[in-house]
Chains A and B, each alone.
Chain A
Amino acid sequence: MIFKKFNIENKKARDLIPQAITVLALLSVIIYFATNAQINMGNRGISFGFGFLNQEASFDITFSMIEYDGSHSYGRAFLVGLLNTILVSVIGIFFATIMGVVVGISRLSDNYLIAKVAEWYVEIFRNIPLILQIFFWYFAALRALPLPENGISFYDISFLTIKGWYVPKFIWTNFNIFLLSVIAAFIAIYFINSYATKQREQFGKQLPTTTISLATLIILPLITFLLLGVSLTFEYPVLKQLSPTVFTYAGGVSIIPELIALALALSMYTATFIAENVRAGILGVGKGQKEAAASIGLNKNQILKLVVMPQALRIIIPPTTNQYLNLTKNSSLAAAIAYPDIVLVFAGTALMQTGRAIEIISITMLTYLTLSISISIFMNWYNKKMAIKEK
């Protein structure tokens, strides 16, 4: 009788109750484990809390984008690790995308050599575990680099050595004015483009938007240099002797080899998957589309830009979002080669020094979750923007 009521007369309740029970079951699992952990921790005299985040960390970190030394707090060390994770992910995503697009298009090239090289690249780097590639770039490639005193010099302003890549440091005056001018340039470009679109749609006029945009981006910041007192000088790295045979570079900025190796491995690996996505996307656009575009008089570049790519992107974006997420999560392998990411710094050193496993691992997991969800939200927004707009 009850079943009948739920099933036929009250569909909503029927749908709701199994779900409610599932949620309850899940909650009781979580509560069960949490109580158990609490009892066990109580027995062993371990307290729970996040107060440690304000304590002095008292360990140093090789590489930090914000001011940090051991006298700062564990919370600050967390931030250093987080920023380093974001840095390597952004660099990795940037290069993986460029390489992926180039390789993906190359695989479809009519040139036999280019197509084959691209194919071999994809097959090799896709099929070797990432951790081995990271070790390869770090330990094998590292040994091949010279010691600082024999560093590979680029016009004597930048040096590549086993201890890192030393590049000139930018020293700005009135940097914020410069930054504002760049932002202003982007806003201007946005308006120029929407104006150009209107012109095209209403009067069929084609404006050279690319040239105008580039010019704005160059001229506006240039004005700040000439008129508003912005200036830029460089501090070059200089070889420094520490002992009869030990050298290093002083001044400039050092890009540590751990970052180079990790970014290289992550982008080489992920680029293979993106390349396949790009290839699939382009192949997925019907041949008739290109022929139709050609028949109304579009040239080759216009066909690619206006007809093929907008349709291919719809196929490319969703799986590429996955690759971006993978790359970000894979960056946690950094710990193996001492790149100070959030796993090494926070879930590693800080965990060891404080012994707060549950708190620190939860924070780290939540952080990765937040990062991944942010990337997803952004890519979904972009995907929607690119999707077919039915008029």
Chain B
Amino acid sequence: MIKSIKTWILVGFASLLLVACGQGGGGAGSKKSKTLDNTKKAGFVKCGVSQGLPGFSNADASGNWSGIDVDVCRAVAAAVLGDADKVKYTPLSAKERFTALTSGEIDVLARNTTWTLSRDADIGLTFVGVNFYDGQGFMVRKNSGINSVNDFKNGISACTNTGTTTELNMRDFFNSKNISYEPIAFEKADEVVQAYDAGRCDTYTTDKSGLAAQRTKMSNPDEHKVLPETISKEPLGPVVRQGDAVWEDIVRWSLNTMIEAEEYGVNSSNASSLKDSENPAIKRLVGSEGELGAAFGLDNDWSLRIIEQVGNYGESYKKHIADTGILPNRGPNQLWTKGGILYVPPAR
């Protein structure tokens, strides 16, 4: 008798709990930016990065993240919260990244992610721009005698990361050349490097910037070289969830501000002194003219803070990619005024 009453009470309690939960549910979007409100409430930007790719997003020994992808998150934090350091980084594998974003675990994905039609349209994501123009290449051992992709023969084994566009490009490439190959796809970049380094595969293929960065992790970097050919377009850029237009705009224009600042010669050291510049474009950038921030619900110094705390795109590139020896040449990632393809819509 006593036991049975206990059961009843337990069951009743459980049902009550359920009803309470049911009323708290939902998660519907609104016209205002829920992500912006949540970020302000939390006091930090939730940013998804790689598990360690030098130059893009890499943690040092004391756990400080740096890289040009990290700088996008820092720029958003500077614009929204006023402090570029208020970012919470979540390292993600290629496989986890989109789920982490769509499920709300992170709010910005800055993880050397290629912008493609299917990703943009299909899986609830929105790409906001390009912060690095890359292309897929191949790495081989210097002594292999392979000097170009035309030297690949039937039976070659190629290592790469699973869940990436590289896996698909690789197939397109070898099929178009009519070469049969052995694809070996690992989940983590570190394991790809280890397997290639051990001799499990003859070539390692991924984005060229990635190859240059991973080469530094090999047991003997000088034994390896990157082949000259580029087999695909890989525009890498930050991604946000679909359905929050304001947040999307904030991230897009945080990146654009960095590129625009370089174009107008505004950098972290001279930004505040340019408040009285003759050029209205510069004045808009440093917040002394117009009311641009109001469009996103931000104050007028949002772009000045980005430039002061994070720097312009050129500074970021120099610090993380060029000076670290990964890719000294800016190649396509140069401003359109200097022969590259970096071109952003005007901030006005």
A-facing residues in B170-198 (Cβ within 8 Å): 170-172, 175, 181-188, 191, 194-195, 198
Is A353's CB under 8 angstroms from B183's CB? no
Give chain B's interface residues, CB within 8 Å of chain A: 1, 4-5, 7-8, 11, 14-15, 18, 21-22, 25-29, 94-95, 98-99, 102, 118-119, 122-124, 141, 143-146, 151-157, 162-164, 167-168, 170-172, 175, 181-188, 191, 194-195, 198-202, 241-243
Is B171's CB under 8 angstroms from A58's CB? yes
Is A62's CB under 8 angstroms from B242's CB? no
A28 contact set on B, CB distance < 8 A: 18, 22
Question: What is the CA–CA distance of A239 and B121 in the complex, to the nearest angstrom?
Answer: 47
Give chain A's interface residues, CB within 8 Å of chain B: 3, 6-7, 14, 18, 21-22, 25, 28-29, 32, 35-36, 39-41, 43-46, 58-62, 70, 139, 142-143, 147, 162-163, 240, 242-246, 248, 250, 257-258, 335-338, 340, 344, 348-349, 351-357
B26 contact set on A, CB distance < 8 A: 36, 39
Is B191's CB under 8 angstroms from A336's CB? yes
How far is the CB of B218 from the nearest CB of chain A, in Å? 14
How far is the CB of B236 from the nearest CB of chain A, in Å? 16
B163 contact set on A, CB distance < 8 A: 348-349, 351-353
Is B22's CB under 8 angstroms from A336's CB? no
Is B202's CB under 8 angstroms from A32's CB? no
- Beta-carbon nearest neighbor of A161 in chain B: B199
Is B156's CB under 8 angstroms from A246's CB? yes
B122 contact set on A, CB distance < 8 A: 354-355
Is A32's CB under 8 angstroms from B21's CB? yes
Name the contact of B200 in the complex, choosing from A32, A142, A356 (C-beta under 8 A): A142
Name the contact of A25 in the complex, choosing from B14, B27, B119, B145 (C-beta under 8 A): B14
| A61-B183 contact, Cβ under 8 Å, with A14-B4, A242-B156, A244-B144 | yes
- The total number of A-B Cβ pairs within 8 Å is 167
| A344-B144 contact, Cβ under 8 Å, with A25-B18, A355-B124 | no
- 25 of the cross-chain contacts (CB-CB < 8 Å) are A3-B5, A18-B4, A18-B7, A22-B11, A28-B18, A28-B22, A36-B27, A46-B124, A60-B167, A240-B155, A242-B155, A243-B153, A245-B145, A246-B141, A246-B145, A248-B156, A257-B200, A335-B162, A337-B191, A338-B184, A338-B185, A344-B185, A351-B95, A352-B95, A353-B168
Is B162's CB under 8 angstroms from A348's CB? yes
Question: What is the CA–CA distance of A142 and B199 in the complex, to the nearest angstrom?
Answer: 9
| A248-B183 contact, Cβ under 8 Å, with A25-B14, A32-B21, A43-B29 | no
Name the contact of B198 in the complex, choosing from A39, A62, A139 (C-beta under 8 A): A139
Apart from A6-B4, A349-B163, A355-B98, 15 more pairs, CB < 8 Å: A3-B5, A44-B124, A44-B241, A61-B183, A139-B198, A163-B182, A163-B200, A246-B144, A250-B155, A344-B185, A349-B167, A349-B185, A351-B163, A353-B118, A357-B99
- Beta-carbon nearest neighbor of B27 in chain A: A40
| A7-B1 contact, Cβ under 8 Å, with A32-B18, A355-B124 | yes
A240 contact set on B, CB distance < 8 A: 155
Is B182's CB under 8 angstroms from A62's CB? yes
A6 contact set on B, CB distance < 8 A: 4
- Beta-carbon nearest neighbor of B119 in chain A: A355
A21 contact set on B, CB distance < 8 A: 11, 15
B242 contact set on A, CB distance < 8 A: 44-45
Chain B interface SS verdict (over half): mixed
Chain A interface SS verdict (over half): helix
Question: What is the CA–CA distance of A139 and B22 in the complex, to the nearest angstrom?
Answer: 49
Question: What is the CA–CA distance of A175 and B284 in the complex, to the nearest angstrom?
Answer: 79
Name the contact of B243 in the complex, choosing from A43, A348, A354 (C-beta under 8 A): A43
Question: What is the CA–CA distance of A36 and B22 in the complex, to the nearest angstrom?
Answer: 9
Is B199's CB under 8 angstroms from A162's CB? yes
Is A338's CB under 8 angstroms from B191's CB? yes
Is A245's CB under 8 angstroms from B28's CB? no
Is B184's CB under 8 angstroms from A243's CB? no
B157 contact set on A, CB distance < 8 A: 163, 248
A46 contact set on B, CB distance < 8 A: 102, 123-124
B200 contact set on A, CB distance < 8 A: 142, 162-163, 257
B28 contact set on A, CB distance < 8 A: 39, 43
How far is the CB of B155 from the nearest CB of chain A, in Å? 5
Question: What is the CA–CA distance of A142 and B186 in the complex, to the nearest angstrom?
Answer: 15
How far is the CB of A331 from the nearest CB of chain B, in Å? 15
How far is the CB of A241 from the nearest CB of chain B, in Å? 9
Is A243's CB under 8 angstroms from B183's CB? no
How far is the CB of A362 from the nearest CB of chain B, in Å? 14
Is B144's CB under 8 angstroms from A338's CB? no
Name the contact of A59 in the complex, choosing from B1, B7, B167, B243 (C-beta under 8 A): B167
- Beta-carbon nearest neighbor of A24 in chain B: B15
Question: What is the CA–CA distance of A14 and B118 in the complex, to the nearest angstrom?
Answer: 56
Is A29's CB under 8 angstroms from B18's CB? yes
Is B162's CB under 8 angstroms from A349's CB? yes
